[in-house]
Structure 1
């Protein structure tokens, strides 16, 4: 227990207790002390509204305590203090609790507390970051009714909100109505057009700007780079009087998107001291373009320089490990990451689960999943798919049930994993039930992948005519995966009739896949139909020789 004077006060000294508690709130230096004072307020019955207001205000001065501040604030009956309402809304928005910030504003409005321009600005920022365009438009209407629309800061915030939400027509309307535009409003308009991919409009406004800043230059670079127009991005980039980390990163990402790994590396090497975002962009560029070893080498180089890996870097190097499928490399990277839990976000943890599953470390995936404080649809889907791929069908289906009990709605990819699990263990009736669940309960239209799973499931069970009937009932054209599943089943069960049908379709869809010829030939051979088998082999030999002749021409 701290030795703060407020903790030694006798509870019957009401007036002095309130005064000294107020003083203690003023001088407290930690959230721990603040909560002790709060406890004393509750014990002594001196939790007066003005003290709770002071406690709420003080709680906002300590980082990562917005929810506690809101909890204290909720204890104040019918609070009309606009400053505290606004401070909470602003603090929640600044700490990325955007939904909570907007809902608190709605509660403020319902309680009849008149917002200030600062209140409107804070909640509009939250709307822009979510994005929440409908709420933003409602707030716009309220600003008009309040008579504050002429406020320059509010106009700029409105413009920025519409631009970030991608509603560039409304952003342009606000921009055109502004009588006094500063560099911030010009930049918001440029960034809005660039984000929407309207680079001609962005360039026109950019060229009209009386004064450009590094943000407007960077918005142009990023806009062109995101569209894959690297030459235009490079032209703007080279003209920039001052480059920042965002512009360097945008150029690297732009080259990576176009598959120009060498160009991306040249930009990276031009940076005097690369920041974490630039390292991450280069790692992602390597991984996205199949340069897995280079991505991993760059990750280790970055860590040797004590550069903290962000989410993009982590996901990039995990993707590279997944591509290689090397358990040793994968485990070394994963161990390094798990030793740094602060860097292991939900997104990167999900990527790790997929990597473990694809690198034959499904037990590691299970342990990581169990230790995750937060799980989403991607977490469950990655684990279910991984377990199914490893033949652990019953566990996969158990996690599917757990996911639904947790209130997480499955998606199309989840059901691919579930149907695969059923296929591996021959659970035909269950597979049909899950297929019905997907279409009728969750309203998910089956993809060709789902039909391929069902054909494989029926094929493994020897129900080949049923599988062929399912293919014929498909609303769209079956792809190679669907016909391939049927042909493979025909090979197992020596069914030449349906094998021929499947093979003919496959010859049309993927004529370069010689494996289909081999499968059909093997079906004939297993039935001692040697003439047909030889005919298919001869057709294959003729096809291969013809391809070689064309390649030599």
Structure 2
């Protein structure tokens, strides 16, 4: 159109700007903005609203605000677009100020505010507006259910759901995900079954929620039923669904099915590889996990911290000290990841089992949290195996500070001293253990005898 020298109208510009917003074409959107200024149509209300909406959807709230401030006439669409821009980046105070200043509000304005508060887990503010909504819609219901789910308030999420006369697929999916994410796996499966019984379309979110719930309980029969649903075409076999399937199969002990799903995937991401590497590690297939990591690197997929937890676990289970140290260096030195406690626990366990106690201790001092009982516990356990009283005492002292009531730590240190015939130290610890045991409340039963 431009090459033919045909001058675009305001409607043309608004259509192109809307397209830029939909496909995340920021550079092109800015170019259109410059063309709008040259054309003299910048004062066109429809074009201004389209510009404002585009910048707001990109999260460029300062640009959106400039367009908004320059508008001589602001209708409810413009106000709502600006509110959506602020809620998108979490500036809820600014969004609320605009909302309060609006003379006219529509269902989109109300929904934007409710969803904004819910997305940032301010459920008190979300509920206050939600209760005032005259006309509620699926987006508001979905936001409230998901928001309560994030906060672990399942009874409130269920209350919102039960108030809906005819919940749609997205609301059902949100409820399944809500229960699954909070560890109520059996309830999530029951909700999924009820959803199927009522003939509601199964969305990707609902299926991933059901697969996650099945993974938690490790029920092979439920797993088979879910796979059958997918095979029958109840939902698209997306990347997220396939990743969840791999995880479920692995947790249910069906590694052959996990491999089959992984190999038949049209595309794989870091989650696909990390899930499969973790599965191989959990099933003791350490070398296979390392081979798969090499393939991941060849495909140019960058690992994340979860990938390295799986890899270091594999090395720990397989006693692959050299490989584990190389991977830890790759993670920390080359890729620049700050090791999590899970990484350090794997490394301390790996080095401890191989007798490299000093190296394990130095790793804790360099990277570890002084208050993590699991890491120090791994070192203390290794010290018991190799009879290292000096490091064992250091680890035990830290554990006494972190969890003073855990008698097991005193017992481990006493056993180290006993193996070295240090009976005075053993006797001293036994007295401490006795004192700890006396301090405990005696057990009792509420069952009548």
Flag whether TM exceeds 0.5 (same fold).
yes
In 1, distance between residues paired with 2:145 and 2:441? 40
- C-alpha distance 431-156 of structure 1, shift in aligned 2 (>3 A): same
Equivalent residue for 1:373? 266
In 2, distance between residues paired with 1:493 and 1:311? 51
1:354 corresponds to 2:247: yes
Cα deviation, residue 536, structure 1: 3.7
Cα deviation, residue 357, structure 1: 2.5
- C-alpha distance 504-230 of structure 1, shift in aligned 2 (>3 A): same
Residues 428 and 458, structure 1, Cα contact 8 Å, conserved in 2 = yes
1:270 corresponds to 2:270: no
Q: Given the alignment, which residue of 163, 187, 210 partners 2:80?
A: 187
Q: Given the alignment, which residue of 485, 488, 491 partners 2:378?
A: 485
Equivalent residue for 1:344? 237
- C-alpha distance 489-364 of structure 1, shift in aligned 2 (>3 A): farther
Equivalent residue for 2:446? none
In 1, distance between residues paired with 2:50 and 2:264? 41
1:213 corresponds to 2:128: no
Q: Which has the higher contact order (CA 8 A, sep 6+)?
A: 2
Cα deviation, residue 376, structure 1: 0.4
In 2, distance between residues paired with 1:513 and 1:147? 76
Encode CA deviations 1:348-381: one digit per residue, 9 max, x unaligned.
2212222333333333221111111111011001
Equivalent residue for 2:390? 497
In 1, distance between residues paired with 2:84 and 2:366? 49
TM-score with structure 2 setting the length: 0.88
Report matched runs for 1:337-486 at 5 Å. 337-340=230-233, 342-474=235-367, 477=370, 479-486=372-379
Encode CA deviations 1:194-219: one digit per residue, 9 max, x unaligned.
23333332233223333322111111
1:246 corresponds to 2:150: no
Equivalent residue for 2:117? 224
Equivalent residue for 1:105? none
Residues 353 and 383, structure 1, Cα contact 8 Å, conserved in 2 = yes
In 2, distance between residues paired with 1:525 and 1:308? 65
Equivalent residue for 2:445? none
In 2, distance between residues paired with 1:334 and 1:510? 44
Deviates more, 1:307-316 or 1:145-154: 145-154
- C-alpha distance 434-142 of structure 1, shift in aligned 2 (>3 A): farther
Report matched runs for 1:91-110 at 5 Å. none
- C-alpha distance 134-413 of structure 1, shift in aligned 2 (>3 A): farther
Cα deviation, residue 464, structure 1: 1.6
Equivalent residue for 1:316? 209
1:148 corresponds to 2:41: yes
Cα deviation, residue 185, structure 1: 1.2
Residues 448 and 478, structure 1, Cα contact 8 Å, conserved in 2 = no
In 2, distance between residues paired with 1:534 and 1:322? 47
Give the secondary structure class of the aligned counterpart of 1:473: helix
Structure 2: segments with no counterpart, 5+ residues: 443-449
Cα deviation, residue 301, structure 1: 0.6
Cα deviation, residue 280, structure 1: 1.2
In 2, distance between residues paired with 1:113 and 1:517? 85
Cα deviation, residue 118, structure 1: 5.5
Cα deviation, residue 414, structure 1: 1.1
- C-alpha distance 397-216 of structure 1, shift in aligned 2 (>3 A): same
In 1, distance between residues paired with 2:31 and 2:432? 69
- C-alpha distance 294-136 of structure 1, shift in aligned 2 (>3 A): same
- C-alpha distance 126-391 of structure 1, shift in aligned 2 (>3 A): farther
- C-alpha distance 375-448 of structure 1, shift in aligned 2 (>3 A): same
Encode CA deviations 1:104-148: one digit per residue, 9 max, x unaligned.
xxxx9xx99987656654554455456565664454334323433
Residues 487 and 519, structure 1, Cα contact 8 Å, conserved in 2 = yes
In 2, distance between residues paired with 1:481 and 1:290? 23
In 2, distance between residues paired with 1:544 and 1:115? 85
TM-score with structure 1 setting the length: 0.73
1:202 corresponds to 2:92: no
In 2, distance between residues paired with 1:491 and 1:471? 18
Give the secondary structure class of the aligned counterpart of 2:37: helix
Residues 203 and 235, structure 2, Cα contact 8 Å, conserved in 1 = no
RMSD of aligned C-alpha atoms?
Answer: 2.9
In 1, distance between residues paired with 2:395 and 2:5? 70
Residues 339 and 367, structure 2, Cα contact 8 Å, conserved in 1 = no
In 2, distance between residues paired with 1:448 and 1:123? 49
Query: In terms of Rg, which structure is larger?
Result: 1
1:258 corresponds to 2:151: yes
Q: Given the alignment, which residue of 143, 157, 179 partners 1:286?
A: 179
Cα deviation, residue 186, structure 1: 1.6
In 1, distance between residues paired with 2:8 and 2:409? 70
Give the secondary structure class of the aligned counterpart of 1:548: coil
Equivalent residue for 1:6? none
Equivalent residue for 1:96? none
Residues 222 and 247, structure 1, Cα contact 8 Å, conserved in 2 = yes
Residues 371 and 402, structure 2, Cα contact 8 Å, conserved in 1 = no
Cα deviation, residue 529, structure 1: 5.0
Give the secondary structure class of the aligned counterpart of 1:502: helix
Cα deviation, residue 491, structure 1: 2.9
